[in-house]
């Protein structure tokens, strides 16, 4: 199901009001499991409904002796049954007004800010590390706490490998992360982004193994660098 179609036909609101036919409901459920925007809208409404249940329960407690006993209502299974009860005409209009306000805020404020952050260029700290025959001096990369950085990894050009497996070890010698580097003919340097994390300062080691088409692994070399944490 196309996301633009969901927005144009207001399928999120119609789903919550149980106005979709079974086939459209199934298609929408398959869609919002893979669509972060629609999933966020459904979760926001469900959370609002849960809080609304508590508030309405407090306001609608009957006064003993003032109201006649009502016929028992057969129980309905699932959270959606409770949602349908909350979305009856008496509550649907104010509930949908709040929901649309939440969706509007996300579309007008939250998502544009996220998109702007993604489009804003970011210059990361970087250093070059040489694996094997390219030298053994440990370069220094300085970052702020929790900030990521770039490694330009130089690997000796050897044939027979389909890709490389690189393992990053922290100063205590513990494996911190692993990543794959493609083996490209004529290329001996690859930029690798190390994601931000709360890691300690000190000496780090990068161990690189070449992987053949048959799955055999051979250590190509190691490289080290010094990580400094700026305050």
Give the CA angle between residues 160, 162, 165 to the nearest 5°: 110
**Contact in structure between 47 and 83 (CB atoms under 8 Å):** no
Q: Which of 140, 157, 150 is nearest to 230 (CA)?
A: 140
User: Cα(7)–Cα(110) distance, rounded to whole angstroms?
Assistant: 17
**Residue 226 reports pLDDT greater than 90:** yes
User: Cα(154)–Cα(120) distance, rounded to whole angstroms?
Assistant: 28
**Residue 112 reports pLDDT greater than 70:** no
Give me the torsion for CA of 176, 182, 183, 187, rounded to 10°. -100
Mean pLDDT of 140-165: 90
Three-state SS across 129-150?
Answer: EECHHHCCCCCEEEEECCCCEE
pLDDT tens for 38-88 read 766 766 665 565 555 555 555 555 545 544 555 555 554 454 555 555 555
Query: What pLDDT, on the 0 to 100 scale, is given for residue 8?
Result: 76
Residue 69: burial class (beta carbons within 10 Å; 0-12, 13-18, 19+): exposed
The overall pTM is greater than 0.85: no
pLDDT tens for 159-186 read 789 999 999 999 999 999 999 998 888 8
Q: Which of 156, 165, 118, 109 is nearest to 135 (CA)?
A: 156
- In terms of CATH architecture, what is 126-230? Sandwich (2.60)
Query: What pLDDT, on the 0 to 100 scale, is given for residue 78?
Result: 52
Query: What pLDDT, on the 0 to 100 scale, is given for residue 172?
Result: 95
Range scoring the smallest mean pLDDT among 11-25, 69-83, 87-101, 150-164: 69-83
Residue extents of the structural domains in the chain: 3-119, 126-230
Query: What pLDDT, on the 0 to 100 scale, is given for residue 139?
Result: 92
Cα–Cα distances (Å) from 149 to 34, 77, 203, 230, in that order, read 30, 50, 15, 13
């Amino acid at each position: 199901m196309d996301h633009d179609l969901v927005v144009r036909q207001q399928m999120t609101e119609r789903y919550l009001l149980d106005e979709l036919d079974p086939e459209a409901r199934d298609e929408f459920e398959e869609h919002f499991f893979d669509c972060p925007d629609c999933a966020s809208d459904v979760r926001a409404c469900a959370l609002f409904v849960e809080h609304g249940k508590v508030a309405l329960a407090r306001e609608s407690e009957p006064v003993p002796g003032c109201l006649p006993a009502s016929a028992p209502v057969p129980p309905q299974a699932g959270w959606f049954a409770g949602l349908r009860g909350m979305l009856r005409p008496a509550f649907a209009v104010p509930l949908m007004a709040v929901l649309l306000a939440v969706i509007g805020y996300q579309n007008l404020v939250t998502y544009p800010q996220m998109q702007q952050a993604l489009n804003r260029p970011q210059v990361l700290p970087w250093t070059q590390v040489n694996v094997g025959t390219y030298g053994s001096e440990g370069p220094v990369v300085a970052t702020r706490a929790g900030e990521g950085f770039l490694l330009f990894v130089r690997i000796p050009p050897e044939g027979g490998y389909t890709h490389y497996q690189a393992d990053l070890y922290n100063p205590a010698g513990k494996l911190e992360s692993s990543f794959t580097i493609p083996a490209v003919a004529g290329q001996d340097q690859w930029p690798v982004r190390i994601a931000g994390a709360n890691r300690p300062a000190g000496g780090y080691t990068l161990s690189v193994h070449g992987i053949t088409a048959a799955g055999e692994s051979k250590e190509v070399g190691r490289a080290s660098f010094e990580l400094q944490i700026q305050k």
